[in-house]
């Protein structure tokens, strides 16, 4: 196929609505009656409605009493099991911002509401609906990388993984990025987005080799990438790096945008996903530095319920970790990422006990985590290749090897870090 053309649109006129956080639930006493209007809706506003509202990714809304009443039993199951809201990091392993987990008190509150008959309550208790941002949440970008040609997702299809190769043309001095945000074009079908920088030009060949816009890709983009410009999953805030940190797009790089589409509907849906970049000109005293612990050449026996693979990488200079991301495919079960510090101390960076390929988030640390030179970053990946694993794509299970395909596996931890710029104090 001849070049899938994607245009750089400058100063996109997308507008942004500021959103005020909804009021926290009022304190209750044990005998005060929990109603939808007085308390439960406040929990939904804060923790559920970013996805459970019309036009968003969740399959039903949780905005009105009627919505919630109809789903009350499923809601209790989902919050008790911590299936919802989707947040995979186990507390106590990494101290993150934007934690989406419900407190035990919030879980109890929802359970109590349902146990007490799931009543609506008084109209005057109902808080105003929160305003959710539409469009860019980080403000109007300085440049937008956009697909010029829409991609059509056929009706009743699941798990379409497609990569689109985008030339990066950035104006004048705007090569240093301060923030990056992925804006899915069609939220009904975009499940998640990952981006990869391509310094090899390989994505152009892969695109040419397949008809239609883009090319099929699953675990990775089909080549080694030094990292990307962020990604998107429902509720994903975009990447913002701390001031003073230089984040440079390598000259000549292309951006490969990997889309995961699901279209449960009866009509074809089209999507044009965009990436907004925000620039800065410094001054800088640090630069962004990606740490990748990745295991290759591993084999997971057919039928084995628990196989552990370890990936390690050495830290060569003093770093500060700002975020961590874990990656496996479908038979991944659990993953821990640990920094083995030169002092001998083990610093937990991330632990996921209930891996779900569909919810791969970038977890931002509240405070930068020091990774001195000599630290080893270790990822321990656990796989379940037994027939009992409902997510196993091979029935019956087959031997699984490392690779980028749907039925291959990966074991990767990326630690987004900063390093001191050379020649500075
Ligand atoms: C980040 C987006 C997001 C947030 C936040 C979120 N959900 Fe969901 N929810 C989804 C999606 C997507 C699905 C359907 C796919 C799935 O099951 O993963 C879903 C499914 C569900 C289901 C159906 C589960 C089942 O068994 O099929 C329930 C119930 C639910 N959510 C309740 C909640 C509640 C209650 C909250 C807040 C406490 C919440 N969700 C927060 C995205 C979200």
Question: From atom 9 of ligand 1, which residue's Cα is the shortest distance away?
Answer: 58
Measured in residues, the chain has a length of 425
pLDDT attached to residue 70:
97
Task: Find out whether the peptide bond into 303 is cis, omega within 30 degrees of 0.
Answer: no
Distance 376 CA to ligand 1 centre (A): 36
pLDDT of the residue at 8? 24
Pocket test for ligand 1, best of 61, 71, 78, 107 (most atoms within 8 A of CB): 78
Pairwise CA distance, residues 350 & 337, whole Å: 5
Please tell me the distance between residue 411's alpha carbon and the centre of ligand 1 in angstroms: 26
Token pair belonging to 87: 């947040």
CA of residue 84 to ligand 1 center, whole Å? 5
User: 78 C-alpha vs ligand 1 centroid, how far in Å?
Assistant: 7
Q: Do 125 and 234 form a contact (C-beta atoms < 8 A)? A: no
Closest C-alpha to ligand 1, atom 16: 58
CA distances to 61, 237, 362, 366 from 97, rounded to whole Å, are: 26, 11, 11, 5
How much distance in Å is there from the Cα of 29 to the middle of ligand 1? Answer: 28
Rounded distance from Cα 286 to ligand 1 centre (Å): 39
Dmax (CA) of the chain = 69
State residue 170 phi and psi, 5-degree precision.
-120, 135
Pocket probe for ligand 1: among 36, 42, 43, 58, the residue whose CB has the most ligand atoms within 8 Å is 58
Residue ID of nearest Cα to ligand 1 atom 37: 48
> pLDDT truncated to tens, each residue of the chain (425 aa)?
322 222 222 222 222 223 334 444 555 555 579 999 999 999 999 999 988 998 777 889 999 999 999 999 999 999 999 999 999 999 999 999 989 999 999 999 999 999 999 999 999 999 999 988 778 888 999 999 988 799 999 999 988 999 999 998 877 655 789 999 999 999 888 888 989 999 999 999 999 999 999 999 987 898 888 888 988 877 677 888 999 999 988 888 999 999 999 898 899 999 999 999 999 988 999 999 989 999 999 999 999 999 999 999 999 999 999 999 999 999 999 999 999 999 999 999 999 999 998 888 889 999 999 999 999 999 999 999 999 999 998 999 999 999 877 789 999 999 999 999 976 44
Pairwise CA distance, residues 328 & 409, whole Å:
6
Please state, in angstroms and rounded to a whole number, the distance separating the CA atoms of residues 322 and 135: 26
- Residues within 6 Å of ligand 1 by CB: 47-48, 50-52, 57-59, 71, 74-75, 78-79, 84-86, 102, 234-235, 358
Measured CA to CA, the distance from residue 304 to residue 7 in angstroms comes to 47
State the residue for tokens 């001195």. Answer: 372
User: What are the tokens at 81?
Assistant: 């099991």
What is the pLDDT, as a whole number, of residue 165? 96
Per residue in 120-150, pLDDT (tens digit) is 999 999 999 998 877 888 899 999 998 879 9
Burial pattern 5-43, b for ≥16 Cβ within 10 A else e, equals ebebbeebebeeeeeeebeebeeeeeeeebbbbbbbbbb
Q: Atom 5 in ligand 1: which residue has the minimum CA distance?
A: 48
How many CB atoms lie under 10 A from the CB of residue 157? Answer: 15
The ligand 1 atom at the shortest distance from the C-alpha of residue 358 is 18
């Amino acid at each position: 196929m001849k070049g899938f053309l994607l245009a750089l649109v400058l100063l996109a006129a997308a507008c942004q609505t500021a959103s005020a956080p909804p009021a926290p639930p009022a304190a209750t006493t044990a005998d005060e009656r929990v109603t939808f209007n007085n308390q439960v809706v406040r929990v939904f506003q804060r923790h559920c409605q970013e996805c459970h509202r019309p036009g968003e990714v969740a399959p039903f809304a949780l905005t009105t009493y009627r919505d919630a009443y109809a789903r009350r039993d499923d809601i209790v199951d989902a919050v008790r099991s911590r299936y919802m809201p989707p947040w995979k990091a186990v507390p106590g392993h990494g101290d993150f911002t934007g934690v989406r987990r419900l407190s035990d008190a919030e879980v109890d509150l929802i359970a109590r509401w349902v146990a007490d008959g799931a009543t609506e309550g008084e109209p005057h208790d109902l808080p105003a609906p929160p305003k959710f941002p539409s469009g860019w949440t980080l403000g109007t970008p300085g440049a937008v990388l956009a697909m010029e040609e829409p991609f059509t997702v056929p009706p009743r299809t699941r798990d379409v993984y497609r990569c689109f190769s985008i030339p990066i043309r950035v104006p004048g001095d705007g090569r240093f990025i301060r923030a990056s945000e992925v804006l899915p074009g069609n939220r009904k079908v975009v499940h998640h987005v990952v981006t990869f920088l391509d310094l090899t030009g390989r994505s152009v060949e892969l695109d040419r080799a397949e008809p239609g816009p883009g090319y099929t890709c699953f675990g990775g983009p089909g080549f080694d990438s030094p990292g990307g410009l962020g990604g998107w999953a429902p509720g994903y805030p975009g990447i913002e790096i701390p001031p003073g940190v230089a984040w440079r797009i390598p000259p000549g790089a292309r951006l490969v945008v990997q889309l995961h589409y699901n279209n449960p509907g009866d009509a074809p849906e089209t999507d044009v996903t965009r990436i907004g970049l925000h620039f800065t000109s410094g001054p800088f005293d640090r630069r962004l530095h990606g740490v990748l612990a990745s295991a290759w050449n591993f084999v997971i026996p057919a039928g084995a319920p628990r196989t552990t693979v370890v990936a390690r990488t050495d830290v060569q200079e003093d770093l500060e970790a700002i975020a961590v991301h874990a990656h496996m495919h479908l038979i991944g079960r659990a993953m821990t990422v640990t920094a083995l510090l030169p002092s001998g101390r083990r610093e937990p960076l991330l632990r996921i006990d209930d891996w779900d390929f569909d919810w791969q988030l970038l977890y931002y640390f509240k405070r930068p985590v020091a990774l001195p030179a000599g630290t080893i970053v270790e990822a321990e990946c656990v796989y379940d290749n037994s027939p009992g694993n409902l997510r196993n794509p091979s029935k019956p299970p087959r031997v699984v090897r490392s690779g980028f395909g749907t039925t291959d596996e990966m074991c990767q931890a990326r630690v987004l870090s900063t390093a001191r710029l050379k020649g500075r104090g």
